[in-house]
Structure 1
Amino acid sequence: MEDNRIIKIFLDDDPIPFAEFSPPIKFVFDTTKIPDGKHQLKIVAKSTDNVEGIRTIPFEVRNGPAIAVVGLKENETVNEQISITINAYGSERKDIFVVTGSETPKAIPAWVWALLIAFVAFALFYLIMYWKPDLYKSFV
């Protein structure tokens, strides 16, 4: 019996497959030749009875530097003037480590402030409720 199983792999909406294999396969997908952004991998497999199965896998390529933006979120409504901090960092050079610019500065989250205020409030409550001068008499 002839084995006519074949797997074709397409990238995005390209009508020509960039690879054809006989199953099972294992290959290295080099994303450095693909521009950054959203893409789609379409896998078409044909069985021995010539029945096709299709699977699409959306993915995002980010070979360039990571870009972090603080102060503006996607689809956010803004007015007046806003302060925006933009940082871009990648892993091109592995021989040195640059400390400045390696981390994006962010404000302290609100939940940390709430936790700190709750702790201080509980400490004051405890001090007021249970502090009695007669408990702290001198032994001398």
Structure 2
Amino acid sequence: MNNNQKIRVFLDEETVPFAEFSPPVKFVLDTTKIPDGKHKLKIVALSTSGKEGTKTVPFVVRNGPSIDVVGLQAGDIVTDQVTVTLNSYGSERNDFFLIRGSETPKGIPSWVWATLISFVGFALFYFIMYWDSDHYQSFF
């Protein structure tokens, strides 16, 4: 069987693809070789009948340390002396952690917390209102 399907992957506005594959493919994009900032990944797929499809995925690379600035924001008008606090922190972990078979981890939804608080609140209300030792008899 002749399989002419091709997937070409371009980075930003490059005219030469940095990778070309036959589908399906799973590859690792090494962002350590890409400078920090906004980038675009353009995927061009060619079907066996010669039709071409494209998809562009914008992403941001942040391999360097994260920088926080407190006391000065973009577009601020300042006079006199301004106290600016700078903080820089990063994670240079070399180990690779991959969760297999799970979806994107998310926090517990607020409706779950509301249900749990309502249940505990009702249990406390019931306990306070109806606790009476006359209703409970000892087996001894």
Matched, 1:12 2:39: no
- Tell me the number of residue pairs that the alignment of Structure 1 and Structure 2 aligns: 94
Question: For residues 93 and 30 of structure 1, do their structure 2 counterparts lie closer, same or farther at Cα, with a shift above 3 Å needed?
Answer: closer
**Alignment-derived partner of residue 54 in structure 2:** 54
Cα distance, 1:89 vs structure 2: 1.0
CA distance in structure 2 between the partners assigned to 1:17 and 1:93 by the alignment: 30
Deviation beyond 6 Å, 4+ runs, structure 1: none
- Output the amino acid matched with 2:70: V
- Name which of structure 1's ranges 50-59 and 73-82 shifts more when overlaid on structure 2: 73-82
Structure 2, unpaired ranges of 5+? 95-140
| Partners of 1:20 and 1:30 in 2: CA distance | 16
Larger Rg: 1
Relative to the length of structure 2, the TM-score reads 0.62
Over aligned residues, Cα RMSD in angstroms?
1.7
Q: Which residue of 2 aligns with 1:3?
A: 3
What is the Cα deviation at residue 84 of structure 1? 1.2
Match status 1:45 vs 2:34: no
User: CA offsets per residue over residues 34-79 of structure 1, 9 Å max, x none?
Assistant: 1111111000001111111110011110111110111122333444
Structure 2 equivalent of residue 74 of structure 1: 74
Supply the AA of the counterpart residue of 1:22.
S
Any residues of structure 2 matched to 1:1-140 within 5 Å, and which? Answer: 1-92=1-92
Q: Distance in 2 between matches of 1:76 and 1:5?
A: 53
For residues 86 and 32 of structure 1, what CA distance do their matches in structure 2 show? 25
TM-score, normalization: structure 1?
Answer: 0.62
CA separation in 2, counterparts of 1:79 and 1:48?
65
